[in-house]
Amino acid sequence: MWEELLQKIQQADIKALARSISLVENEVEGYDTFLQLLPVNKLDNIIGITGPPGAGKSTLTDALIGELVADGKKVAVLCVDPSSPFNLGAVLGDRIRMSEWYNTPSVFIRSLASRGSVGGLHPKIIEITDILKVAGFDMIIIETVGVGQSEIEIAGLADVTIVVLVPESGDEIQTMKAGLMEIADIFVVNKSDRPGADAFVNNLRMMLAPAFHQREEEVPILQTVASQKKGIRALKEKIYSHKSLQHTHRKKWLLTEKAYQLIKNRRMKDVDKLLLMNKIEAAGNNFNLYSFVNDY
């Protein structure tokens, strides 16, 4: 079954692609063998889009899809939605803003639930992304939930990380500054038609100036109005130029980060939250958190 599925994916069979993602997501027996069958793909084509809630990430993604499709690119989009804390299903589901692309043959869109992952990513995001690479997409866009400091997790997956902010993001910048500086390849100040946008860009540039001296090149800060498609072409060109500057060291770091995440997920595989809750409930009033964790 798995070999046949892989063959169909390599032939750009969308139904086979969707089915394989579901099988891997649900850890159907044999999925790990299937992943080992995946051919090595060295394309640096993963774009991560992250940032605080309300920054317009979905609208920006929608506009960017349009630019890439106009260039003749095949595009896959993974939208990682917040999960319900009770059933771990996606709260938002498929993005309404991207609905015009659902019937476009060169665009594949899939919504995934974060399933409680603190990094804002789906626990099988690395595996699903590698399956998409095999399907022959020119660009893979991953839009994350945007949950603060733990957004750093996207940097271990994306070849180009875009951090989206808005002119009112001053407080978020203060709390997320260290993490953002580490992960951002491109800053986008969206909704730049709002008052104070230029001042915010200048403040952001001054705030990040000390860190620029430690990097090989200055991180670009672009202004967009995604709802009006303004600045999107410039963003696309920056993505292309950044991809051409990829360094061997960064590629090794990306692979190391992916290996770390996969090993961590594998070792946590037998830890079941419902089972934990039942054991805690059974312990009653004598429950000691640290003794419990130490003995688990």
CA distance 38 to 6: 8
Residues 155 and 141 reside in one and the same domain: yes
- What is the separation of C-alpha 135 from the centre of its chain, rounded to a whole number of angstroms? 18
Residues 68 and 9 reside in one and the same domain: no
Residues 18 and 150 reside in one and the same domain: no
Residues 24 and 165 reside in one and the same domain: no
Residues 189 and 236 reside in one and the same domain: yes
CA distance 3 to 128: 17
The overall average pLDDT reported for the chain is 80
Tens of pLDDT along 188-239?
999 999 998 999 899 888 877 765 555 566 789 999 999 999 999 999 999 9
Query: Mapping DSSP to helix (H, G, I), strand (E, B) and coil, where does residue 133 land?
Result: helix
pLDDT in the model for residue 249 = 58
pLDDT in the model for residue 97 = 58
Residues 152 and 275 reside in one and the same domain: no
- Mean pLDDT calculated for residue range 29-37: 91
Residues 50 and 1 reside in one and the same domain: no
Which tokens belong to 31?
Answer: 């999925």
Residues 147 and 262 reside in one and the same domain: no
Domain count, the chain: 3
Residues 208 and 284 reside in one and the same domain: no
Tens of pLDDT along 54-84?
889 989 999 999 999 999 999 999 988 654 4
CA–CA–CA angle 273, 123, 236 (5° rounding): 150
| Residue 269 belongs to domain spanning | 256-296
CA distance 225 to 109: 23
Give the CATH number for residue 190: 3.40.50.300
Residues 148 and 21 reside in one and the same domain: no
- Mean pLDDT calculated for residue range 19-29: 91
Residues 180 and 288 reside in one and the same domain: no
Residues 227 and 266 reside in one and the same domain: no
